[in-house]
Amino acid sequence: MLDIKFVRENPEIVKENIKKKFQEEKLPLVDQVIALDAENRKTIQEAQDLRTARNAKSKQVGVLMGQSKKDPSKLAEAEALKAEVKADADRLAFLEGRETELAEEIRKIMLVIPNIIDPSVPIGPDDSCNVEVQRFGEPVTPDFEIPYHTQIMESFDGIDMDAAGRVSGNGFYYLMGDIARLHEAVLAYARDFMINKGFTFCVPPFMIHGNVVEGVMSQTEMDAMMYKIEGEDLYLIGTSEHSMIGKFIDQIIPEDKLPQTLTSYSPCFRKEKGAHGIEERGVYRIHQFEKQEMVVVCKPEDSMKWYEQMWRYSVELFRSMDIPVRQLECCSGDLADLKVKSCDIEAWSPRQQKYFEVCSCSNLGDAQARRLKMRVKGEKGTYLPHTLNNTVVAPPRMLIAFLENNLQADGSVKIPAPLRPYMGGKEVLVPKA
């Protein structure tokens, strides 16, 4: 969310940014919110003037009432002044109510106006305009056919989607045996990988209040992703970033406590509404999964440095498991409204002969901090911190890349050295069928 003062003083910059995000339908909102802001400031000033005048008149009434004991003519003057005070009070009550209404109207619009994107972001209407920046590792296509990922899992008796369909419907799964163990091994390895990078491990709440949801994501994202708990002000998280950033709601952070570098484990729950929906086969797009996340809260001048470092951690992790990846810069039209800059880390799929998303790294500037009323107390006063987040790993999607890139011709799957301690020392998984 932008600062209303910035919108007021830079309307053309805000409008140009909206155009760059191909959201022209939002252009009228800029003039609308500026007009509401002008009315609100006028209302606030009038209310303040009335309070000052009312206080002065009230004191004068007291003086006149005292004088009326000696001079009865002062009583009529006091009563007239009392009537003015009453009229001022009625007007003030109206103005205070109008202040509340205007503040809410302004906030609703400001929640919709997109954040200012970084100048380095490529301009384009959708993800087809995302730009490949660099590759890490050589994509390999083996000389044997690679089955669909659920077929690989089934060869280890490692997945049961039919049973999950009977129990929960589409978009769910049972992981079994070695595949379930591999799933947990990847998460444990990712946890320790981030701890070794100096991040503090955290297991957050898996449900959050509506005001936290509003603080961490746009309304469009919320409608497409979040499950609400019926009858309660609680939502299941779609990613632990939501509750991790929400941890700082209404908090003042001492500047010497920055940066806050946290890595969190959580299950994630998503409706997966949209163009792709939940109808894709396998476990690429599902309603429930687990994830290791990284979150940083830092000084504004440090956020781009952290952005660069965070996506590189993902690259390092995937390369340690022999998975080729590439960095893809997200274009303006593919950025969620709160994001200043974002990139995807995509893993190589030998079966599909293309890359697919496994991590998403985002710098949100001070947008979440402003919504959540997070502040930092420094030597020169308080200011808003910047917030960033990035996926460490999110199995089972990550398992697709792992299984395809480590599959052998005989159907076995090799276990890279860093993962072996989490797999009981196993160097290879042998299929049961």
pTM: 0.89
CA–CA gap between residue 190 and residue 173 (Å, rounded): 22
Q: What is the pLDDT of residues 298-341, one digit of tens each?
A: 999 999 999 999 999 999 999 999 999 999 999 999 999 999 99
pLDDT of residue 349: 96
pLDDT of residue 281: 67
pLDDT of residue 222: 80
CA–CA gap between residue 238 and residue 228 (Å, rounded): 11
3-class SS of residue 106 = helix
Q: Given CA atoms 218, 224, 225, 226 in this order, what sign does their dihedral have? A: positive
pLDDT of residue 224: 80
Position 157 pLDDT exceeds 70:
yes
pLDDT of residue 89: 86
Question: For the chain, what is the radius of gyration of the CA atoms?
Answer: 28
pLDDT of residue 221: 79
pLDDT of residue 275: 45
pLDDT of residue 60: 79
Average pLDDT along the chain: 93
At 279, the pLDDT band (50, 70, 90 cuts) reads: very low
Least confident segment among 51-55, 168-172, 255-259:
51-55
Q: What are the structure tokens assigned to 261, written together? A: 């570098």
Q: What is the pLDDT of residues 333-372, one digit of tens each?
A: 999 999 999 999 999 999 999 999 999 999 999 999 999 9
Q: Once rounded to an integer, what is the mean pLDDT over residues 88-110?
A: 93
Q: What is the pLDDT of residues 378-429, one digit of tens each?
A: 999 999 999 999 999 998 889 999 999 999 999 999 999 999 999 999 999 9
- Could you tell me the domains of the chain? 4-110 (1.10.287.40), 127-429 (3.30.930.10)
Residue 99 · residue 43 · CB < 8 Å? yes
DSSP for 1-60 reads ---HHHHHH-HHHHHHHHHHTT-GGGHHHHHHHHHHHHHHHHHHHHHHHHHHHHHHHHHH
Position 234 pLDDT exceeds 90:
yes
Q: What is the pLDDT of residues 73-87, one digit of tens each?
A: 777 777 777 778 788
Start-end of H helices in 334-428: 367-372, 397-406
